[in-house]
């Protein structure tokens, strides 16, 4: 009986010792895992910092490239605007017209005896006028004198496919005050439905608008 009691005591002690050893081993394992995790976290933080520094450096380089590209684009646009500021120049009896910076300007010229009135010589000769009543988006201008008198008549094709013509406010011959002369863009009254036009041209005495189907529409003729 006493011997059984001693055996039970030894078994209990062994179990306790074994349990303690298991606890110690598990605690050691957990500790080592924590140490390893802490090292991995520290490594990841270092990697993150290095990655952040790399991204910052790359962003700086991209910004620099973007600034260079933007500057180059502005310079190209400025050069293009400079070279294309005057996109077209036409002439007719007694005038020269320029499409310049999306505006139409008419300069009166006493050339080849067109202007015979003595009042025209000064100060109206070589006077330049901007055509009034025009929106932005001018595609083309053509000389189109209607043969009614010696008066600048110009057809204007807009980017939106509409066609306008230039009206003169009053007679040029006999005008003593340059400010009394004005040129204004207006719709063509007998062709109010003229739209979707891609080109305008003069063929002899005939003036045509060409729509987006290729159809030629007669605007007027001097025949």
CB 156 within 8 A of CB 170: no
99 has which bridge partners?
88, 104
Average pLDDT over residues 155-168: 86
CB within 8 A of 182, min separation 6: which ones? 129, 132, 168, 169, 170
Most confident range, picked from 22-26, 54-58, 139-143: 139-143
Q: What is the pLDDT of residues 194-222, one digit of tens each?
A: 778 899 988 877 888 898 888 888 887 66
DSSP the chain: -HHHHHHHHHHHHHHHHHHHHHHHHHHHHHHHHHHHHHHHHHHHHHHHHHHHHHHHHHHHHHHHHHHHHHHHHHHHHHHHHHHTSEEEEEEETTEEEEEETTEEEEEE---TT----GGGTTTTTT-EEEPBS--S-EEEEEE---SSSS---EEEEETTS-EEEEEESS-STT---GGG--EEEEE-GGGTT--SEEEEEEETTEEEEEETTS-EEEEEE--
pTM of the model: 0.56
Q: What is the pLDDT of residues 135-156, one digit of tens each?
A: 889 999 998 766 555 567 788 9
Q: What is the pLDDT of residues 61-103, one digit of tens each?
A: 787 787 776 766 665 555 544 444 558 998 877 788 999 889 9
Among candidate residues 164, 167, 148, the one with its CA nearest the CA of residue 93 = 148
pLDDT at 63 (0 to 100): 79
Please, what is the average pLDDT of the chain?
75
Most confident range, picked from 45-49, 82-86, 106-110, 144-148: 106-110
Task: Give the number of other Cβ atoms within 10 Å of residue 170's Cβ.
Answer: 10
What is the sign of the dihedral through the CA atoms of 58, 59, 62 and 68?
negative
pLDDT at 96 (0 to 100): 86
């Amino acid at each position: 009986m006493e011997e059984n009691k001693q055996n039970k005591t030894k078994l209990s002690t062994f179990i306790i010792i074994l349990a303690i050893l298991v606890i110690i081993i598990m605690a050691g394992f957990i500790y080592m895992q924590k140490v390893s995790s802490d090292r991995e976290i520290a490594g990841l933080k270092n990697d993150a910092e290095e990655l952040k520094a790399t991204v910052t450096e790359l962003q700086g380089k991209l910004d620099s490239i973007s600034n260079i590209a933007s500057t180059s684009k502005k310079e190209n646009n400025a050069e293009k605007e400079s070279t294309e500021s005057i996109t077209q120049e036409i002439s007719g009896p007694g005038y020269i017209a320029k499409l310049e910076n999306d505006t139409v300007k008419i300069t009166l010229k006493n050339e080849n005896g067109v202007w015979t009135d003595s009042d025209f010589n000064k100060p109206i000769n070589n006077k330049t006028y901007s055509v009034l009543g025009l929106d932005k988006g001018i595609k083309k201008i053509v000389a189109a004198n209607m043969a009614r008198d010696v008066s600048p008549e110009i057809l204007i094709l807009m980017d939106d496919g509409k066609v306008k013509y230039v009206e003169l406010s009053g007679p040029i011959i006999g005008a003593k005050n340059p400010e009394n002369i004005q040129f204004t863009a207006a719709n063509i009254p007998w062709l109010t439905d003229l739209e979707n036009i891609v080109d305008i041209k003069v063929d002899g005495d005939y003036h045509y608008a060409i729509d987006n189907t290729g159809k030629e529409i007669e605007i007027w003729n001097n025949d």
